[in-house]
Amino acid sequence: MPHFFFNKKLILLLVGMVFLVALISFSLRDRTNATLPEQIIKDTVGVAQSIVAKPANYITGIFNDIDSLLNTYEENKRLKARLEEFAAVQTEALALKKENDKLNELLDKKESLKAFNPIQATVIARNPDQWEEKIILNKGSSHGVEKNMAVMTAKGLVGKITLVTPFTSEVELLYTNNPNYRVSAMVLGEKEAYGLIEGFDEERNELIMKRIDSSLTVKEGEQVVSSGLGGIFPKGVPIGEITEVSTDDFGLTKMAYVKPSADFSILEHVVIAKRSTTMIDGSDGKATNEDLSNPPEANKEEAE
Amino acid sequence: MVRFLIPSVAVLLFLLEPEFAMLSPIEVKGQIFYLVPRFLILYLIFISIYYSRQRAVMYGLFFGVLYDVFYIDIIGLYSVLYPLICFLAGSIVKIIHQHLVVTTTISVVLVAILEFVLYQFFYLIDFTTIPLTDFLRSRLLPTIIANTLFLMILGWAFKYLINARVLQRAREVS
């Protein structure tokens, strides 16, 4: 019965299509946790991947070494020039740090937005199709990694952890078009200007910093660091340097293009930072809608 | 020995893809070019052409699911596209000649189609906002060139390996 057989195939195809759409829409939802089969697959592939990543990292390491060897003479000259300067800066920094500690002690201020516990991790894979900028690290929840921790290199901020399995974790890079991905940042000018890093310009390959108060002056070449006010990233992590300043779409606030200081193309070793003081809610946290700026105790007292 | 070599090469290529992806994007004269390694699907297309379409579709489904879960987090994207591409490759080759140059061209064209479908999908769900011309210039073209180079270097080795397996199976049957 060829007719019946054809129908059966058609039904199978239709059921398959429905199943496919259901699967895609299920996985497209904003999921906070991976399901168990996903975790198992992720961990298994992750372990195999980290085995392959070792020799691969070694080989790229050799190429980088050769590259830096070729520039040694120029670099040495430059470094020597800065060495004298460095000694003076170091003593000053040490003195300032001591003074800062003493002042903090005086104020009885123990928590700081700057403090974080570092976890070293190695990049084992990068999403090969490169549509979503994502990297995978070899440390997971069994090493103490949690969602929303900041990820950085020695040069600057890279991204944040979006998904954790026992032995791997996924990082969403700053280079993303996700409109919910914002980093509270400040410009280290004469007067600190606060703004938000929101999205990036694909043509210029630079980050966009928006919502800077238009009364403040922001100049090209000034450094941008994380402000620690977003509740996730520690304070003072370098993000980049301003390359161009303009006004935003409505002309109410300023907007700046920021060239990131971290090198995103070759990421090997990164540091996951667990901030000592965290206070997050909303879509990044537990979404309890709790009023964080007015703690409930204070409200109660007022009521009484 | 050859029997296990075919799946293990596939696993190796699957694990090597992200390592090569770390070399991308490259910057030439201020222009950014993305090179997407598509080694595994090229290999699966070769299996589909020279060995067995059904086997290739099964491998495609398996690695597609792995790919989806590990990298993309959207289940049902690669796990459909990979088997589909393998199926197409196996069907096309029944009509035309199986010369290495012809199969290389077919593989590259199929990878280009895969890349284009993915672009359309990600554009649809707002993962990317780049216009079509930018996609063609900064992604599709460099990807095709890189993967063609890869096939030109290793295509004959794939063919050699798969032929060895086919011969072995023929001997087992007789």
Is some CB atom of chain B closer than 8 A to the CB atom of A302?
no
pTM score, whole prediction: 0.79
Please report the pLDDT score of residue B72 as a whole number.
Answer: 82
User: What tokens appear for A162 in the block?
Assistant: 């979006």
**Closest alpha carbon to B59 in B48, B70, B68:** B48
Do the Cβ atoms of A125 and B75 come within 8 Å?
Answer: no
Do A273 and A157 form a contact (C-beta atoms < 8 A)?
no
Whether A130 sits inside 8 A of B21 (CB atoms) is yes
ipTM tops the 0.90 cut: no
What are residue A224's DSSP bridge partners?
A: A187, A240
Q: Which of B87, B79, B50 is nearest to B62 (CA)?
A: B79
How far apart are the C-alpha atoms of B129 and B107, rounded to whole Å?
28
DSSP state, A1?
-
CB contact under 8 A, B22 and A126: yes
The residue written with tokens 């910093």 in the block is A209
Instruction: Give the total number of structural domains in chain B.
Output: 1
| Residue pLDDT, tens place only, A120-136 | 898 888 888 888 778 88
pLDDT at residue A113, rounded to an integer: 67
For domain A182-260, the CATH class is mainly beta
B23 assigned to some structural domain: no
The pLDDT assigned to B143 comes to 92
Alpha-carbon separation of residue A50 from A53, A181, B79 (angstroms): 5, 28, 23
Name which of A131, A168, A204 to mutate to probe chain B: the one with the most chain B Cβ atoms within 10 A of its Cβ: A131
Residue B15, in any domain of the structure:
no
> For an interface test with A, which of B27, B28, B66, B70 has the most A Cβ atoms less than 10 Å from its Cβ?
B70
Task: For chain A, 304 residues long, give each residue's pLDDT as a single digit of tens.
Answer: 555 556 777 888 888 888 888 888 887 776 666 778 888 888 888 888 888 888 888 887 888 788 888 888 888 888 888 888 888 889 999 999 999 888 888 887 766 667 778 888 988 888 888 887 788 898 888 888 888 888 988 888 888 888 888 888 988 888 777 777 888 888 888 788 888 888 887 777 788 888 888 888 888 888 898 888 877 788 888 898 999 888 877 778 888 899 888 877 777 888 888 776 655 555 555 555 555 555 555 444 444 4
pLDDT value of position A304 = 41
Cβ within 8 Å of residue A90, ≥6 positions away: none
Amino acid in position A177: N
Domain ranges in chain A are 182-260
Q: What is the CB-side half-sphere exposure of residue B164 using CA atoms within 13 A?
A: 12
Other CB atoms closer than 10 Å to residue A173's CB: what's the count? 22
Residue B148: domain span: 2-8+29-162
Residue B14 maps to a domain: no
The arithmetic mean of pLDDT across residues B13-21, rounded, is: 87
* H runs (alpha helix) in A1-128: 2-28, 36-70, 72-107
CA Rg value for chain B: 17
Overall average pLDDT of the B77-89 stretch = 91
In terms of residues, how long is chain B? Answer: 174
The alpha carbon of residue B173 is apart from the nearest alpha carbon of chain A, in Å, by: 31
Phi and psi angles of residue A222, each rounded to the nearest 5 degrees, phi first: -80, 150
| Residue-by-residue DSSP string for B88-120 | HHHHHTTTS---HHHHHHHHHHHHHHHHHHHHH
Name the nearest CA neighbour of B22 among A156, A128, A242: A128
Q: B16 lies in a domain?
A: no
Distance (Å, whole) CA A208 – CA A211 = 10
Residue type at position A64: N
Is B74 within a domain? yes
